[in-house]
Amino acid sequence: MASRYDRAITVFSPDGHLFQVEYAQEAVKKGSTAVGIRGTDIVVLGVEKKSVAKLQDERTVRKICALDDHVCMAFAGLTADARVVINRARVECQSHKLTVEDPVTVEYITRFIATLKQKYTQSNGRRPFGISALIVGFDDDGIPRLYQTDPSGTYHAWKANAIGRSAKTVREFLEKNYTEDAIANDNEAIKLAIRALLEVVQSGGKNIELAIIRRNQPLKMFSAKEIELQVNEIEKEKEEAEKKKSKKTA
């Protein structure tokens, strides 16, 4: 049945599916995992770094991009589609600042991106954007925000979420481990993001990229060394927890 209703985006199938939109969601799953965590005074974005070819300049393969000084996003899916969406969002951020003399709120820019994506699900001859995005930042009121958008053009606020390959596994990990204690301070929130990624990332900390935004501070990208330090701390904590467990059982 699907094959007759997936040729044009503007056609519903008899049971109400928009197959092109659902196929676009499959394209998102081909991108590597990205996780977003909303802490009390921090927002964290962690991504699984794709291995870069030998002759490729690593700086040009980025999954986390700043949209403005106080908002950044991570995406999963088609690289070229992400580039187009990010460029449009960046222009909109500046245009908004010039027009109303205020930086965009995280919700505004998320709604802009989601509206853009939805337009492409209802246009003749165009296919949807094959990306999901995690948008994080702080508004003027100092409240941290995390939003997720998907190819259908929906957007929702989340406390923590994951997109891309194995997103389900990471989301289940977050559902079990996102507690008030886990986000009690900034360092704990960062560790939670790394632990969530380590569930699905091959070869550990070397393949993780992390970015944080603290209240009233610009985006900070973690260096490989800083991530390694965090990973080592997490491994030590794991070992200690296991030792305690084995003592208890003994």
Partner 1 sequence: MAATFFGEVVKTPCRAGTEDEEEEEEGRRETPEDREVRRQLARKREVRLLRRQTKTSLDVSLLEKYPCSKFIIAIGNNAVAFLSSFVMSSGVWEEVGCAKLWNEWCRTTDTTHLSPAEAFCVFYHLKSNPSVLLCQCSCYVAEDQQFQWLEKVFGSCPKKSMQVTVLTCRHVTDYKTSEPTSSLRTPFLKALKTQSFRESPCCSLLEQPNIVHDLPAAVLGYCQVWKIPAVLYLCYTDVMKLDLITVEAFKPVLSSRSLKGLVKNIPQSTEILKKLMTTNEIQSNIYT
Binding site for partner 1 (CB under 8 A): 25-27, 29-32, 50-51, 53, 56, 61, 63, 75-80, 82, 165-166, 168-169, 200, 202-203
Minimum distance, C-beta of residue 57 to partner 1, in the bound complex (Å): 12
156's CB contacts (< 8 A; 6+ apart) are 147, 148
93 Rama class: left (phi>0) / alpha (psi -120 to 50) / beta? alpha
Alpha-carbon distance values, 59 to 49, 52, 65, 212 (Å): 12, 10, 12, 18
In 101-166, which residue ranges form alpha helices assigned H by DSSP? 106-119
Between 31 and 39, name the residue whose CB sits nearer to partner 1: 31
Minimum distance, C-beta of residue 187 to partner 1, in the bound complex (Å): 28
Minimum distance, C-beta of residue 139 to partner 1, in the bound complex (Å): 28
Between 25 and 177, name the residue whose CB sits nearer to partner 1: 25
Minimum distance, C-beta of residue 26 to partner 1, in the bound complex (Å): 7
Between 62 and 70, name the residue whose CB sits nearer to partner 1: 62
Between 124 and 203, name the residue whose CB sits nearer to partner 1: 203
CB count within 10 Å of CB 244 equals 10
Beta bridge mates, 65: 73
